[in-house]
Structure 1
Amino acid sequence: MAQLTAVLLACWWDNSWTISASGKFTEGGRGFLQHYGAWAILLTDPLLLVASGFLDRQFCVAILTLPARADRDAARAITRSLREYLPWVRGKGTAALFYALCLITGLFAWTYNVASTIDPLGALRHPIFAHHDVFDSGLHMRSFIAFKACLFLSWVVVYPIVGFKLVTIIIATRSILRRAEKHGLLQPRVEHPDGCYGLKNVGTLNIAILVPCLLAFFVMFALLVTHQMMYESILIPLIVVSTVFLVTSFIVIWPAQMVLWQARDKEFRDLAKSSRQPPPASDRDLFQFTARRFFFSAAKASPYSDTTKVIILAMRATPPVVSLAIHFFP
């Protein structure tokens, strides 16, 4: 709210709400009310922090609620894996170097933006100034100072935190699930009340991983719509975020999906074998067999419930659909 207030006051002072056409720029300008990218950055910053906090929480919930084998050794092994990676996810040890890299990258991007927009008519100007002015250029100094301060908070404070949390949790989740699959620590149960063999929280974790990527994608989409042109400083992040988004949506929880499919196939074989045998003699055995068939038909061989499956499909479709829309409807 403080960021938005500062930018609004600066735009009022500079009268940079809208920028009309002038002889200096062939397409006029993009005032604050015309700059969808600026609105997207200001609106998504708090959402990214909330999404990052939820991601951290869901990571712990998903790992601690994995359907481990009945013996204590399996549960202890999973807990040890979480304790091994949790300090790393929280930025301790060698992870601090990766956070420093994220911080330096954000600072470099911010410095480049400042240097390339402070003089829209200079030799080092940003490529967009070949076509139009923007409200946060050096020609509108108060708006320039206010919005660059907002960008500093976004690119040097918020984005490194979110990027660090996202990458470390992706690596930790994949490593823990792969270890659990390799050592046979998981035992998905068809009768689990979540209807997903006990892996529903893993599916929710995958959605939590994708949310920050989707928010970043919408920011870049808003910038493209605002400037109506493709340039390096938006093209490279767009490719990186889209690739990470589409790839991680499948590979991060793939080990858990493999274990789930194996559990479903085993349950199917057991039920098929029981069906070929004479009917159970006791009512208790008949009830157990009927209940197993019911649970098998109701459970989903997926870590996603019906609702989360719709959400994940919509999220996966968003980047290619929006990219095609940009291409065919510029």
Structure 2
Amino acid sequence: SVAKVRCTSARSENQGGKLIVVEGGDLIEEKDFACPQGTTIEVAQLFYVTPARSKFLKGDSTEFSHITQVVTQQALAYPSIQFQLTHNGREVIQALPTDQIHYRIAELFGTDLAKSLVQVKSSSGDYRLEGYVSNPVYTRSNRSAQYCFVNGRFVRDKVILHGTQQGYNHLLPKGQHPALFLYLTMNPKLLDVNVHPSKAEVRFAFQQDVHQFISRSIREALERNLQTQIEGAQPDYDDIGINTSNETSINRPKLSSWLSKPEVISSSQEEKLSEALRKMSVSHEFRSFTTSPTWFDKPPIPVSNLIYSEFEPLGQLDSSFIIMQGKKGLLVIDQHVAHERILYERFRDAAKEKKIEV
């Protein structure tokens, strides 16, 4: 009702299509029209009948970014439909139809992000969650790559986002956010979509259940991915000739055989061994050490002096330790001890303010 709109649509090229023209809310034209399969909507002269509203529009780049965001949301919600967005003759989005959401993500956001994604697939009762999240190494400083859909509708819900954050279990650097492409399917009776004018927010009947389900699903997906990487990791033996198969030509005695049957060396063998060691020591100029060897060029940096935001998480070890890397080296964090420290500081600060809850 505030612009000039021209729409052409056809189910198939054989059946033909329709043309509808609406200007300022009035139907100007409706007729049969020959057009290719699909729907094309053209919007022109926005707010031409209400000039006062056009004053509230932002700059061209800002408004176009909003348009791009809407098209991206719809392209992720319906990967089986082709989406094309052009701006001033330049193609901005070209998403071909596919039955794999992973391919659609790669088309819209690039292959680098797509390669870092971890598949999420979980169900419990009335809830089913599918999609992809980025591994803890790939993060962004904003939430621009976070897309959540509930029953096919794009939403920005605090319960889902917080549950996702909890699923990473402190694996993310401070101020960093993962990429999310999650699709939650649930009973519509357990959902209220009429809480926001643009339907961008929803309200769950059982928010705690949804929060726990999403958090557990994300955590299990990340753990499975880490386990797969550990099991699939193979050492690189390209530089040395070694047999990496289970069967090896080297027979290594067991520890019990060394303890129960010590090898007896004859006097002649002992003399030959001594002579060989003497010649080796002379040729290589071996020297005996009177002091213990130095294992570090400089003493390790105290943990209290480290800035944790400068480290990036690599993964989780044995569900107990967080492995992180940074310019200052490798950092291993005991999750249990870290959690105790957080609780201690929380109680300490509350005691200073005399706000301890009993």
Greater share of helix residues, 1 or 2? 1
Greater share of strand residues, 1 or 2? 2
**Structure number, greater radius of gyration:** 2
TM-score by length of 1: 0.24
- Greater relative contact order (Cα < 8 A, sep 6+): 1
TM-score by length of 2: 0.23
